[in-house]
Amino acid sequence: MDIINGLEPASFWKHFYNLTRIPRESGNEAGVRKYAADFAEAQGLEYKIDAIGNILIRRPAAPGRENSPSVVLQGHMDMVCEKNRDKVHDFAKDPIALVIEDGWLKADGTTLGADNGVAVAAGLAVLEADESFGQVEVLLTVDEETGLTGAMELDPAIVESRILINLDSEEDGVVYVGCAGGKNTEGYLPVAFDAIPAGYKAYSIELKGLHGGHSGGEIHIGYGNALTLGSRFLWKAAEKFDTRIAFLEGGGKHNAIPREFFATVFVKDADADAFQAYADEFATVIKSELGMIEPELSFNVAAGESPAAIGQAESVYSAQTQKRILDLVYSTPHGVIKMSRVIDDLVETSTNLARIELLKDGKGVEGSNTSGKTEFFVLNCHRSSVDSECDDIADRVRAMISAAGGRHEFKHDYPGWDPNPESEILKTARKAYSALFGNEPEIKAIHAGLECGVIGKKFDSIDMVSFGPELADVHTPGEKMKIDSVEKTWKLLVEILRIV
């Protein structure tokens, strides 16, 4: 705990540090929920847990503030658990190792969990603050990162407030008033296998070092997608040589731009030199294309199976299966589909080719199916501020999966949040920000998905804004939080609650 000594506000940092000791991958929020419930009991505060596992803690109004409107502070308990393949860390039991570097708090080789440990820590800190607030509720939801499940299944009866402050934003000095909706498209391709042919040489292919990033907040930057690049190499290699793929995997969570790609490919002995020369040429090409934005890009093709594929390369995909997989993955779109014509610099519609893997007996690292079949899995995440455009890009990907002989499932469909320029809580946030810092906050909508859109549909009327400290590289092992922006966010939150 020494690493946070002296950081302000002390209460926030105490809770944030404690959260880094508790496993909280999506679907495994029991430890955080118990931490919050134990806190409420120790403070003598009422709390409720709904059927899906969301927890709401209520602090009554201070004397003289009984007529002030009730405000609910909201965020999610789970975090995206991402690390590079060579990092030894078990998110189910290992604490997050913290590092301070150049004014930023980060983790050692894993995601930090500031998304959205910020909301949990800030909410609990407000509940124990020595301040005269009106009634404050803190709503902490489950499973936001995989599909906003907690918000979708929220029992609205546990919430009394009709003013909501979401604390799941990542830009200092910005107040958000709208967000995109989205859905995922899962593709499942049937597979067949052949014996490894005689007279072929094995090559391991590893593409690593890409930046990755949040598939909503950073999709417009143009970072490389490891799956797009890796499939590009293999698709062209299959055209040039008689290649046979034994192992193929890459990417991670649906909301993270893929950073890594791995494959094991068998090539005829007679083509070995030409294949290696093609690989070297490809490495030069993609580094030339992406070097300015992806300086750590590493593309390595070497004789011999990769460590990741040992024990998995006992056979190769049939020629027909291989063609279907490569045609699908290589042709699947990734990136910005359309920019908004209404709001400057806002992505309106995007899609993220997020994960590929073989599901053995229906189970994989990220994918799963209920059939128990061994299938090849392709995961895509789509976002848009316009529902019809989100449906359109999902249908385009669905059509591609169908053309490849596969089946699809749509998952985690959630609505967007329409901006309300006349919002009273927005006016209050502007007033508080101006009083504290002497200038106006930037007012934005965000392409990422926030729970505000889902929660807003649960009530006849609820007034909402979202803000938070400066975060960078979320959903990647480089995730970090700017330390001085935390105190600034805290001051804004406290001032709003004072004057609302």
Residue labelled with tokens 């995961």 = 379
pTM for the full model?
A: 0.85
The per-residue pLDDT for 306 is: 55
The average confidence (pLDDT) of the chain is 94
Percent of the chain with pLDDT over 90: 90
Nearest to 56 by CA among 70, 36, 41: 36
Reported confidence tier of residue 312, pLDDT bands at 50, 70, 90: low
> Residue 114 is which amino acid?
A
Residue 53 CA: distances (Å) to CA of 30, 142, 324:
8, 6, 41
Q: Does this chain's domain 2-180+417-499 share its CATH topology with 183-414?
A: no
Residues counted in the chain: 500
Overall average pLDDT of the 374-393 stretch: 96
The strand ranges marked E within 282-374 are 298-303, 315-317, 335-339, 347-359
Overall average pLDDT of the 306-321 stretch: 73
> Residue 376 is which amino acid?
F
CA angle (389, 395, 401) in 5-degree steps: 145
In a 13 Å sphere around the CA of 434, the CA atoms on its Cβ side amount to 8
- From the options 3.90.79.10, 3.40.630.10, 3.40.50.720, 3.20.20.10, give the CATH code of 2-180+417-499: 3.40.630.10
Q: Which two tokens stand for residue 295?
A: 């300086």
Model pLDDT for residues 144-200, shown as the tens digit of each residue? 998 899 999 999 999 999 999 999 999 999 999 999 999 999 999 999 999 999 999
What is the C-alpha separation between 406 and 399, in angstroms, rounded?
10
Exposed/middle/buried for 157, CB within 10 Å: 0-12, 13-18, 19+?
exposed
The per-residue pLDDT for 85 is: 84
pLDDT reading at 438 higher than 50: yes
Residue 67: is the preceding peptide bond cis (ω within 30°)?
Answer: no
> Residue 439 is which amino acid?
N
Centre a 10 Å sphere on the Cβ of residue 457 and count the other Cβ atoms it contains: 14
The per-residue pLDDT for 305 is: 64
pLDDT reading at 471 higher than 60: yes
> Residue 22 is which amino acid?
I
Nearest to 182 by CA among 394, 458, 333: 394
The per-residue pLDDT for 416 is: 92
Model pLDDT for residues 71-96, shown as the tens digit of each residue? 999 999 999 999 988 899 999 999 99
User: Reduced to 3 states, what is the DSSP secondary structure of residue 431?
Assistant: helix
Q: Domain 183-414 is in which class?
A: alpha beta
Nearest to 145 by CA among 95, 75, 83: 75
Overall average pLDDT of the 459-486 stretch: 96
Sorted by sequence, the CB contacts under 8 Å of residue 170 that are 6+ apart come out as 115, 217, 468, 469, 470, 471, 472, 474
The residue extents of the domains of the chain are: 2-180+417-499, 183-414
What is the C-alpha separation between 91 and 69, in angstroms, rounded?
40
pLDDT reading at 311 higher than 60: no
pLDDT reading at 367 higher than 80: no
Q: Looking at residue 326, what DSSP letter applies?
A: H
Could you write out the DSSP letters of every residue in 205-218?
EEEE-----BTTTT
- 163-166 and 463-466 strand pairing: parallel
What is the C-alpha separation between 264 and 204, in angstroms, rounded?
5
> Residue 442 is which amino acid?
E
- 136-141 and 71-76 strand pairing: parallel
Q: What residues are labeled active site?
A: 78, 144
Percent of the chain with pLDDT over 70: 98
Overall average pLDDT of the 414-422 stretch: 91
Highest mean pLDDT pick, 16-25, 213-222, 440-449:
16-25
The per-residue pLDDT for 372 is: 81
Centre a 10 Å sphere on the Cβ of residue 269 and count the other Cβ atoms it contains: 11
Overall average pLDDT of the 353-370 stretch: 85
The strand ranges marked E within 236-346 are 244-251, 261-268, 298-303, 315-317, 335-339
* pLDDT, greater one: 363 or 238: 238
> Residue 472 is which amino acid?
A
- 55-59 and 136-141 strand pairing: antiparallel
> Residue 338 is which amino acid?
K
pLDDT reading at 308 higher than 70: no
The per-residue pLDDT for 174 is: 97
Could you write out the DSSP letters of every residue in 86-134?
T----TTTPPPPEEEETTEEEESSB---HHHHHHHHHHHHHHT-SS--S
pLDDT reading at 456 higher than 60: yes
Residue labelled with tokens 């494959």 = 263
pLDDT reading at 230 higher than 50: yes
Give the chain's radius of gyration (CA, Å): 24
Nearest to 12 by CA among 124, 111, 164: 124
The per-residue pLDDT for 310 is: 46
